[in-house]
Amino acid sequence: MKVNIREYSKEELIQQFESRKIPGFRAKQVYQWLWSHRVLDFGKMSNLPNTLQSQLSDQFSIEEITVDIIQRSQDGTIKVGFQTFDQEAIEGVIIPKDDRYTACISSQIGCSLACTFCATGFLARKRNLFAWEIYDQVYLLDELSKLDFEQSLTNIVYMGMGEPLLNYDEVVKSLRILNDEKEGLGIGAKRITVSTSGVARNIIRLADEGLKINLALSLHASSNDKRLEIMDINKSNPLELVIPALKHFYDVTKNKISYEYILLSGVNDSEEDARELATLCQDFPVYVNIIEYNPVDDVPYHKSKKEHRDKFLEVLRSLKVQAKVRRSRGKDIDAGCGQLANKVK
């Protein structure tokens, strides 16, 4: 069977070429075609000899994900359903706002965490995505952004389907490709955010990778008891493990960390919840994004009332916490936070 050439790092590709008596500089040329330009046909790699193009076609495959469905929201948000090489489905979203065009991308097919407020959590995790599948989402969403908005993507957030830090190796590999200015897409680290539900050991590893990306914690409750009610990951990764890991990330990168906090009526939206949240913001610089809950079928939660949301925000600000309400986008096409579940309207 042919091996997918995009599964190799540059160093591995050089070794593969040299083992076939192909000069190493040819591997570097192919690598640039694959990642700087997303050329997926050896015959279109114009600086390669015809004989080498044929040899590579005989010995390697180039897999890809493809656009399956495009849905456009009334607010300008675009949701894209992608089909993988093994006929699975994942989703990505473009969120236009002012002069920002943000791509929300997925890292797994399904999710294993089963957060009770999230539609994706009801899907079984089928497998991790490869780095090239993550890259393809960004590339294809960027092409679509240029078509619809005449603007390239400005920001990338790993906030789609799955838990990025449970697909650690492939996510880090994809980050390096996206960030690489010479042989990748050249997206600045400050414009990339990885969101995690709190995989403490891998937060520490990520800090030490030398990447200067942003980190967001899907917190959603400020005590272990409440967090455990809605997020099963808190069993293995309680706040006593997660908060020190975040502090390590800040100490190494000096990047302010954001807390994502979905307000659920009667669950986590009291003034006491706000004060507990403020306490978690004391150890290192934190920015809190208050998120409106998006309805999910057969889930017994409701959006917090406006007066409770406003009071929650007031308490945070009175305690010197930087916070704002992040308005939900794309709700009419199930593209909002927590709604991605391969559902077409």
DSSP, collapsed to helix, strand or coil, labels residue 10 as helix
- 130 near 173, Cβ under 8 Å? no
Phi/psi at 218 (5° precision): -75, 90
The whole-number average pLDDT for the span 99-106 is 96
Is 240 an active-site residue? no
Catalytic pick from 111, 115, 118, 337?
337
Query: Where do the domains of the chain lie, and which CATH numbers do they carry?
Result: 3-61 (1.10.150.530), 66-333 (3.20.20.70)
- Can you tell me the mean pLDDT for 44-67? 97
Report the pLDDT averaged over residues 167-171. Answer: 98
pLDDT of residue 320: 96
Side-chain half-sphere exposure of 174, counting CA atoms within 13 A: 29
pLDDT digits (tens, 9 = 90+) for 11-35: 999 999 999 999 999 999 999 999 9
Among 67-71, 75-79, 323-327, 333-337, the range scoring the smallest mean pLDDT is 333-337
Q: What is the pTM of this model?
A: 0.94
For residues 64-72, give the mean pLDDT. 95
Least trusted range by pLDDT, from 28-42, 199-213, 292-306, 328-342: 328-342
Contact indicator for 106, 92 with CB cutoff of 8 Å: yes
User: In the predicted model, is pLDDT for residue 339 greater than 70?
Assistant: no
Residue scoring higher pLDDT (198 or 344):
198
118 among known catalytic residues:
no
pLDDT of residue 328: 74
Q: Which of 63, 88, 91, 307 is catalytic?
A: 91
Q: What SS3 class is residue 27?
A: helix
What is the pLDDT, as a whole number, of residue 342?
55
- 208's tokens: 């030490």
The strand ranges marked E within 163-206 are 192-196
Q: What is the pLDDT of residue 273?
A: 96
279-to-60, 121, 219, 222, 246 alpha-carbon distances in Å: 54, 28, 13, 9, 14
- Distance CA(27)–CA(10), nearest Å, equals 7
State the Cα–Cα distance between residues 198 and 6, nearest whole angstrom. 29
Please state the rounded mean pLDDT for residues 258-278: 95
Whole-number Å distance between alpha carbons of 233 and 199: 8
Region of poorest pLDDT, from 110-114, 230-234, 332-336: 332-336
Place of tokens 């957030």: 157
As a whole number, mean pLDDT of residues 200-217 equals 97
Q: How far apart are the first and last CA of the chain?
A: 39
